[in-house]
A and B are shown apart, each in its own frame.
Chain A
Amino acid sequence: MASTTAEEQPFTLAVPDADLELLRTKLASVRFPDELEGAAWDYGAPLADIQRLVTHWKNSFDWRKAEAAINTLPMFTHDIEVDGFGTLNIHYVHQKSAVKNAVPLLFVHGWPGHFLEVRKLLPLLTAGPADQPSFHVVALSLPGFGFSEAPKKPGFKGRHYAEVFNKLMLSLGYEEYVYQGGDWGCALGAHAVTHYAHTHIKAWHTNTPFYRRPKFLSNPLLFLGLLTLPFNEPALAGLQRSQEFMKKGMGYYMEQATQPQTLGYSLADSPVGLLAWIYEKLVSWSDDYPWTDDEVIEWISIYWFSRAGPAAAGRIYYEITNRNTNDLFEGTKRTTVPFGVAYFPGEIAQTPKSWSKMLGKVVFESTHDKGGHFSAFEQPEKLASDLHKMFGKGGPAHGVVPGRNGYD
């Protein structure tokens, strides 16, 4: 039986007044940098955007209102014991469907994401049309993110995250479940299935498919496929996009993977520093999503008010890559658990679709014409529809969880 300790506790977000006051005082004393003429987005987040957002944060954004709305979600915390790391108090949303035999689904966010990315998906997954499968949804805050505790020691690896996921689901009575994730949710999904494929995880899905280049010995056909790339326009365009990202978009990754503590001081101390660091990704990684200032500030606030502080989150890059010694998939193996993939055009790393086969046993694929990296937030209907198709009657992963096929 899973070794969890205390009972599940309901969680109410209640940022102390003192924290709000400190933030207010800091916002009132912001010192902005200069900017080159006509810089636009070339050098990073534009000054005009950031100034506008800071003004909004200071004068208009109502945190208590946002907090109250967040608190309408069914949230809990639970102590999860992790081998070698003691107990971590984990925060999560747990929305059950009225359909008793709904499919248990674990939703895993990434960076700079958080548990609230599940918000728009929830009604679509737990209370969708009767002819579509329903899900019991668990959306956790990753350790070190949102309102989950962070590990206190170095060395929190993929298998530890997988352990947290699995123990959490087991503690909720879900011996068998399915998994959906993007960004770190994808990489950690590969770790999760490596350890719990078939026994507990019966199928998984990602909206940010990416993987390492095929090597000749391990994947000869895919490797040879590289040779035909110049003639495969969509794949070539995707690879070029990825190369562009590798050249121009990897600063955050390199710093977080090698010196997350150094970076952490400005993220913890400066609201505008944290805002710019994350906002730049919210815009450049999404597909023209019409962010409102309130949406952005609420998103940043989750990081600002996070339980472990904003510096803790970036450490995942360091730990999983062994300080940039290996890639995100080190220690994972391909499994035969049914795997679903959604391709969104605004995604940042676009590897050829055939590479998804290396990641898992692809039984479901969908290609969309709109949406970026944060597809659960940007295109919830599209993503929900994919999960309906994958797990619904006649779908390739229908009934993977015995006794919980999504229909009563």
Chain B
Amino acid sequence: MATTTERPFTLSVPPAELELLQKKLELVRLPDELENAGWDYGAPLSDIRRLVARWRDGFDWHKSETEINKLPMFTRDIDVDGFGTLNIHYVHQKSAVKNAIPLLFVHGWPGHFLEVKNVLPHLTAISGDRPSFHVVAISLPGFGFSEAPKKSGFAGRQYANVFNKLMLSLGYEEYVYQGGDWGHMLGAHVVYHYGHKHLKAWHSNMPFYRRPTLFSNPLLTLEEHLPTQAARVAVEKLTHWRQKGIGYYTEHATKPQTIGYGLSDSPAGLLSWIYEKLVSWSDQYPWTDDEVLEWISIYWFSRAGPAASIRIYYEMTGGNTHDTFEGTARTTVPLGISYFPGELLLPPKSWMQMVGKVVFESEHDKGGHFAAYEQPEKLADDLRRMFGRGGPAFGVVHGHEGYD
């Protein structure tokens, strides 16, 4: 019987790291700003100044750390073909329901494993006629407290490999998957490599795919031009994204090392880079300063450092030479999609048929890109309806239907 490399994980940032951060916060040099800039030019100076001051003087990392350590966290070695062993960090919360559905929760950028925090109790709870889940929330390689790959070329297939090996190592031969942002894109890769055999159904809160072309999907191309509200919103968001929203993406996908120096060295720089997205990508979520600072701290204190995390854009796009779905193809693994109004891109609903076999859809009137964090009840509810008795993905995992 193979010995396991799983170890319980306790987050414990060394004092030297805390001192360095404190020193940097005390030395901060802030830029100027144009009058009445608001959010027009990026994260506002008054916000960043206030957050830096709080980080320096009031934010209690030890308190956050203690709370985070209440989650059942582990690390284990995962061997990735061609990349050696990566030590992977994850939360593994089992439900008291023995036959709960094993679910892998995958975050994106600038997200992290803690995004599962709010949704965890809803998914693992015992709730009568609604299914329960055993939840595994991984830190992506290069994010949070997982090791980063050391060589170039770590892309879709490798991420899928890590996910599948992790679930198998936990005894979950079959499982389901939930993700947003990179979690969505990587979902397409996992389902391509391990769909049906291991990955039995998946759900995404970020409906996104490559544009249909006249040759590949003629009917879908026409849909954009329909005079419907949905089509109008789709085009508006896409235009805004392409013109105004793609700066960070372009730098990440082409020169991640260059931007990485500032993100590693300047807490204010890292703070603004991420905070801008936390606010502009969420649906008016009432971030507290401490929530923001805890979020940024995960990046600041991450095992591989903040620069490692953004390389995913480069690797998954071949340095901006192809899209993130390269190497995948549509599968017939059941797919569920939740539409949140504050999401960055909201293509016509029919597009998701190109991604997979859509068996579940839900539309919400509140919530943005960080749905699991902003609207945990709504997201949990979607998953329970998708996988519960009478739901379109009920019983996909043999022997783990979600009820005892």
- Chain A residues packing against B (C-beta within 8 Å): 22, 25-26, 29-39, 42-47, 50, 150-154, 247-252, 254-270, 272-277, 280, 308-312, 315, 318, 323-325
Contact = CB atoms under 8 A, between A and B. Distances in A.
A33 B269 contact: no
8 contacts: A44-B257, A44-B260, A249-B254, A250-B250, A256-B247, A272-B262, A273-B269, A280-B255
5 shortest A-B CB distances, which residue pairs?
A266-B269, A273-B262, A266-B262, A262-B42, A44-B258
B interface, over-half SS: helix
A309 B34 CA distance: 13
Given A251-B251, A311-B31, A38 B151 contact: yes
B43 interface: yes
B270 interface: yes
B264 A265 contact: no
A interface, over-half SS: helix
B41 A276 contact: no
A150 B250 CA distance: 27
A87 to B, nearest CB: 15
B263 A266 contact: yes
B304 A255 contact: no
B247 A259 contact: yes
Contacts of A264: 31, 42
Given A150-B32, A275-B261, A266 B268 contact: yes
A342 to B, nearest CB: 28
A151 B36 CA distance: 13
Interface in B231-283: 243-266, 268-273, 276
B29 A22 contact: yes
Interface string B4-33: 000000000000000010011001111111
A261 B273 contact: no
Interface stretch (B85-93, B108-116, B181-189, B305-313): B305-313
A298 B322 CA distance: 38
Contacts of A274: 262
Contacts, number: 224
A73 to B, nearest CB: 26
Given A29-B27, A255-B251, 7 more contacts: A22-B29, A33-B305, A34-B304, A36-B151, A50-B261, A154-B41, A267-B269
B243 A34 contact: no
Contacts of A34: 148, 304-305, 307-308
Contact of B23 (A29, A272, A273, A280): A29
Nearest to A32: B264
Given A33-B261, A258-B245, A262-B272, A44 B255 contact: yes
A249 B321 CA distance: 12
B288 interface: no
A33 B249 CA distance: 19
A310 B31 CA distance: 7
A248 B264 contact: no
B251 A43 contact: no
Interface residues on B, range: 35 or more
A38 B152 CA distance: 8
A270 B266 contact: yes
Contacts of A150: 32
Contacts of B259: 44, 251, 266, 276-277
A284 to B, nearest CB: 9
Residue in B34, B249, B270 whose Cβ sees the most chain A Cβ within 10 Å: B34
A277 B260 CA distance: 10
A251 B255 contact: yes
A267 B262 contact: yes
Contacts of A26: 27, 29
Contacts of B265: 30-32, 266, 270, 272-273
Contacts of B150: 36-37
A231 B246 CA distance: 35
Nearest to A41: B257
B251 A254 contact: yes
Contacts of A266: 259, 262-263, 265-266, 268-270, 272-273
A265 B34 contact: no
B365 interface: no
B258 A277 contact: yes
A324 B248 CA distance: 14
Interface string B152-189: 10000000000000000000000000000000000000
Contact of B269 (A45, A265, A275, A324): A265
B42 A36 contact: no
A183 to B, nearest CB: 18
Nearest to A273: B262
Contacts of B253: 251
Contacts of B151: 36-38
B258 A259 contact: no
B129 interface: no
A227 to B, nearest CB: 24
A22 to B, nearest CB: 7
A277 B33 CA distance: 20
A304 to B, nearest CB: 9
B144 to A, nearest CB: 15
Contacts of B306: 33
Contacts of A323: 40, 243-244
B48 interface: yes
